[in-house]
Chain A
């Protein structure tokens, strides 16, 4: 079985691209596909977008604790787009300008525009002198578009803007000969759209949006893996879940059939994907440490004896010096010095009289003798034989041969232990039964629980006259049976015995207790049904508690809004676009689901747009190069004249409904 590994790809910071004079002087349009997952930015004259970055900024919060020490606030280390090398490191600081698929947070949008224009190399003063082609959400609310126009005109002083819907740009302009009728299915990061197009006109009123997208799949996968492996919850990150979605996830053509296959353990074994999480192997060297411990102990003992020897020698020298002084005093006395001198000498050596002095000398002599003997003794026993290693008492048991050991172990594990009344398995069984009883007692509708209730109610019953409860000692046992522990708790003796047995087994069969010799194995994710389960969310939103209909059902619903004639026109040309469209199996699945809801023998075609995640940019680019592009440009003049929410409509744009004037139009930000 092949072991997969996480790539953990890091973002590569973008370079500042050269701003050539041909770009500068011809006011080449800048094409921005502003998707809720990624932005693609480039010049309309180039074949491919120059910048691809996730629409994210990481803004560290101001540290409150440092506020007092610093008067000038430190510049926040703002990271934008591909500046964020490791997303997981700043996961909690991430911000996006999107709320679902609509831009609402324009401060973040400003930072991301700064990033885009800066890396395109624009260096003109106070303006970005290029028309902008910008994608927006399907039926983007006027408020959002108005704020976007304000930002682009007032902050960057762009000459003009054209807004369009990503999937419509993609369909109408990124392919050579688009058919006039199509059912577009746009699978995005936050939402999925089913967009009918008849005679090159988008049927807005019959479009439906499913509020489930790639993001929901990624978080769902992330969470089920975390719950499956709680020990590795921190190692299973959102970026890794995203990587799994792109690398191994697929749409099951028939989800029920797929599940049935997975019930078979053989199929499971041969189709499961094992993914290795990074881990650091713990140096498993208990034998070595035992040796080291011995060595260290020896070293310690040696040092201790050394210290003791030095101390003894010091004491000896001290005592000898004292003795010498005392002897001197004695000599002085013996030579018959005058009284005054004797008294002073005695005072010096802290003795009251001559008798005391003599006693002191005797004591010192004895002390010196003792110390000397000790030194000799210590030197002679230089090689202190170390104390016998404390062994667990079970390893001391000696067996005649391997067989005897084996049978003994078997006995310990099973019931027939000749030494003890308790057996391991027995104890374990008892414990389990007790646990079960304890659980049952607190559940309603179990025999144990009802019995307990019955006893309690009987005890509480007050009957005058014949209350002889307590006359016999056994009466009191009833309280044991209704106690929390349900009669008998795990007894101390049993627990001890169990520990003992486990100790025995561990000493003789170390592998029995911890089987995982390879530490990497415990750090593996086994991804089986999850591969199909997570993407299935698009078709079964109820799996994540969402009451919306699944994608196939929505497609059926949208088709049902048309006449049979129109329905067949749409079903003939179903086109999948958006980042998720190239999930393997998706085309097949939608085809199968469509055939099942279409009349017998009617024509159904499902195609996936080429290069589906970049096709919106390519479409918008083609649009910017058409001759009519200037006509559709919404300029600063229009902005001043018609108001900030005005824009020009075209084949790939949203419809324009001016916000009704008679009520409060004030947009307070």
Chain B
């Protein structure tokens, strides 16, 4: 037991000393600030948006692609073929009667998985 602890502390030292090129000051600083919470991209964007920027400034958030203006085509969830039908029970789209026979026997988790994949989990949609 004691041996193992010794080993690990030696390894710890080794790892710390591995990167000679780093400023020791920066590292010690880091150990004191134990819990660092990094802002996510969304937070960064929203705090950026709140600032009074000049009119000509372009931002990360201002170059998002526009929404699609074309009606989405319907494809079968199972096969990817063009799907003229929707099963009212599971809300899955299907292309032919063979696929429907499969859909009827699909367990709940699979049908839910297909819907989640298409992003159609909302009840109203």
Query: What is the distance, in angstroms, from A94's C-beta to the closest C-beta of chain B?
Result: 16
Q: Which of B19, B54, B120 counts the most chain A CB atoms within 10 A?
A: B19
Pairs across A and B, CB under 8 Å, 21 listed: A74-B8, A75-B12, A117-B21, A122-B21, A123-B20, A125-B20, A126-B23, A126-B24, A128-B21, A141-B44, A141-B48, A144-B44, A154-B26, A205-B62, A208-B65, A209-B64, A227-B114, A259-B75, A546-B119, A554-B66, A663-B51
Contacting pair B58 A655 (CB below 8 A): yes
> Looking at the complex, which one of B48, B70, B73, B119 makes contact with A545 (CB distance below 8 Å)?
B119
Contacts of B12 in A (CB 8 A): 75
Interface size class of chain A, counting residues whose CB lies under 8 Å from the partner chain? 35 or more
Knowing A154-B26, A207-B63 are in contact, say whether A224-B58 is a contact too (CB < 8 A): no
Knowing A208-B66, A548-B68, A549-B69 are in contact, say whether A104-B38 is a contact too (CB < 8 A): yes
Expressed in whole angstroms, the Cα–Cα distance for A156 and B117 within the complex equals 43
Q: Which residue of A lies closest to B8 (CB)?
A: A74
Expressed in whole angstroms, the Cα–Cα distance for A443 and B57 within the complex equals 57
Contacting pair A156 B23 (CB below 8 A): yes
Knowing A123-B20, A223-B117, A657-B54 are in contact, say whether A104-B81 is a contact too (CB < 8 A): no
Contacts of A585 in B (CB 8 A): none
Query: What is the distance, in angstroms, from A202's C-beta to the closest C-beta of chain B?
Result: 10
Interface size class of chain B, counting residues whose CB lies under 8 Å from the partner chain? 35 or more
Expressed in whole angstroms, the Cα–Cα distance for A554 and B65 within the complex equals 7
Binding site for A on B (CB under 8 A): 5, 8-9, 11-12, 15, 18-27, 36-42, 44-45, 47-48, 50-54, 56-60, 62-70, 72-73, 75, 78-82, 89, 110, 113-114, 117-120
Expressed in whole angstroms, the Cα–Cα distance for A429 and B21 within the complex equals 77
Contacting pair B22 A126 (CB below 8 A): yes
Q: Does A417 contact B (CB under 8 A)?
A: no
Q: Which residue of A lies closest to B125 (CB)?
A: A545
Contacting pair A553 B68 (CB below 8 A): yes
Contacting pair A114 B41 (CB below 8 A): no
Expressed in whole angstroms, the Cα–Cα distance for A140 and B53 within the complex equals 15
Contacts of A125 in B (CB 8 A): 20-21
Contacts of A651 in B (CB 8 A): none
Q: Does A660 contact B (CB under 8 A)?
A: yes
Knowing A140-B60, A256-B82, A540-B73 are in contact, say whether A227-B39 is a contact too (CB < 8 A): no
Binding site for B on A (CB under 8 A): 70-72, 74-75, 99-100, 102, 104-107, 114, 117-118, 122-128, 137-144, 154-157, 204-205, 207-211, 220, 223-224, 226-228, 230, 256, 259, 262-263, 443, 529-530, 533, 540-550, 553-554, 557, 655, 657, 659-660, 662-663, 669
Query: What is the distance, in angstroms, from A239's C-beta to the closest C-beta of chain B?
Result: 19
Expressed in whole angstroms, the Cα–Cα distance for A663 and B24 within the complex equals 34
Knowing A156-B21, A208-B63 are in contact, say whether A659-B58 is a contact too (CB < 8 A): no
Contacting pair A211 B65 (CB below 8 A): yes
Contacts of A553 in B (CB 8 A): 66, 68-70
> Looking at the complex, which one of A74, A220, A223, A541 makes contact with B68 (CB distance below 8 Å)?
A541
> Looking at the complex, which one of A123, A230, A545, A557 makes contact with B110 (CB distance below 8 Å)?
A230
Query: What is the distance, in angstroms, from A271's C-beta to the closest C-beta of chain B?
Result: 14
Query: What is the distance, in angstroms, from A655's C-beta to the closest C-beta of chain B?
Result: 7
Knowing A102-B41, A104-B40 are in contact, say whether A545-B63 is a contact too (CB < 8 A): no
